[in-house]
Amino acid sequence: MKRLDVLDGMRGYFLVFMMLNHLVFAGGYLLVEVNHRNLTFVEDAQGFVFMSGLLVGMVYGRKMLKAGYEAGRERIWARAIELYRYAMGIILAVLAARLLMPGAAVIWRDWLGDISLSDPLRLGSIATFLYQPTYMDILPQYIIYMVFAPALIWLCITGRWATVAIGSLVVWMAGQLGLHRLITYPLDGWLSAAEKEGIRASFNLLGWQIVFFGGLIAGSLTATRNIEWSKVFSPEKTLIPKTALAILLFFMPLRIMTAHGLMPDFVLQKFSMMEVRADFGPVYLLNFAAMASLVAWLLIAGPKHDSAFVRKTAHAVNSVFSLSFLQLLGRHSLHVYIWHVLIVFAVRYIDGRVGPFSELTKTAIAVFCVSLLALPALYRERDIHFAPAPEPKPVPVPAASAAAGAKQMRNA
């Protein structure tokens, strides 16, 4: 199996669990608790953003190597413009549904806030990503990162990847120190004075960029073949997986304690400063780096390890990411993500109008919603999956056989 297939499977995996995490029912539901985020400070959004950066570096890095910087830049920016249209389109679709569907304005109020199609300032805030409705916030940061991606890919493929890595780390530190507030606070105050609600965003772009551009660096180095992953992650080199496992096991009880309110307040006050999800704080960075390294080692080196347990674990991980359903979703991940937002809003509306539902019904709805994720992917691959069967070609008859057949007809 091609390695890109496994990467697609990973993206599909993240999409499935993002769907389960984003579904909202009155009283919650149990299926959402079956998630690795309850054991580690690693979430599906992080993996999705990292994989997006990785594939951007791989795909467009190769494009630049073949056709030059300008060709790669045009392709990347064209992709960013396409995604911008999708982002605006999905917001307009939801706003139109809010006007047409009875009770939608109340049910979706927490997610949309006070948005009026007749308010040019609020529409301008949405168009510039200063105001982001709930669950519509990954696309904006992806688009913004794509604006800077061409120059950074070019630096990576021309041997200056360390400069990009150092710059990304410095920007991440600026995000942790809150230096972005020198700009966002005055802007938020101005918007709040005019609209009663200012900047609305779930992700600190300065913090989360290290996830995307970390993937971009790895993808660019893969495109130029300046790094051999089989040498970085080899069966004999076990320091990386051991360190990664130690970090994850150290944080596991802490994650369980914070998830269930078991951590003492005097510890939580200090710990929570390092564990800000919106900023992608140090706790999240350490855990994500550990998890990414461990999974990469299992996929690349695990199948060749001496331990039967390690080989079985590697096989299990590879089998999950090899599921055809997940790979189908991953091949069209951004379109599936956009579609999942509409599904999530629809389920919230149905739950608000018809619910509350029983636990069994909630589980059935969640599973059905996961299956619906395949629709845009199947549509984009309709020529492959739904192409008409080719007509059978006539079998050519040898000349000798034709002559013999004609002679038999004359004799008859």
Report yes or no on 93 lying in a domain. yes
User: What's the pLDDT at 389?
Assistant: 56
Interior/surface letters 272-289, b for 16+ CB within 10 angstroms, e for the rest = eeebbbebbbebbbbbbb
User: What's the pLDDT at 37?
Assistant: 80
| pLDDT, tens only, 317-364 | 999 999 999 999 999 988 899 899 999 999 999 998 887 889 999 999
Would you say 206 and 172 are in contact if contact means Cβ atoms under 8 Å apart?
Answer: yes
Report yes or no on 365 lying in a domain. no
Report yes or no on 379 lying in a domain. no
User: What's the pLDDT at 139?
Assistant: 85
Interior/surface letters 314-339, b for 16+ CB within 10 angstroms, e for the rest = beebbeebeeeebbbbbbbbbbbbbb
User: What's the pLDDT at 202?
Assistant: 79
| pLDDT, tens only, 76-93 | 999 999 989 988 888 888
Inform me whether the pLDDT recorded for 230 exceeds 50. Answer: yes
pLDDT band at 412 (very low <50, low <70, confident <90, very high): very low
Query: For the residues 389-396, what does the mean pLDDT come to?
Result: 61
Question: Does residue 412 sit in helix, strand or coil?
Answer: coil
Report yes or no on 2 lying in a domain. no
Question: CB atoms < 10 A from the CB of 256, how many?
Answer: 14
Report yes or no on 123 lying in a domain. yes
| pLDDT, tens only, 18-32 | 999 999 898 888 888
Domain of residue 282: give its range: 39-306+333-343
- Least confident range from 48-62, 313-327, 381-395: namely 381-395
pLDDT band at 400 (very low <50, low <70, confident <90, very high): low
User: What's the pLDDT at 264?
Assistant: 87
Alpha helices in 332-373 (DSSP H): 333-354, 359-372
Distance (Å, rounded) from C-alpha 5 to C-alpha 326?
10
Report yes or no on 352 lying in a domain. no
At how many degrees (to 10) do helices 44-67 and 3-22 cross? Answer: 140
Give the total number of structural domains in the chain: 1
Report yes or no on 405 lying in a domain. no
Report yes or no on 25 lying in a domain. no
% of the chain residues with pLDDT over 90 = 45
Nearest to 8 by CA among 319, 369, 322: 322
- Predicted TM-score (pTM) of this structure: 0.85
Distance (Å, rounded) from C-alpha 339 to C-alpha 346?
11
Inform me whether the pLDDT recorded for 214 exceeds 50. Answer: yes
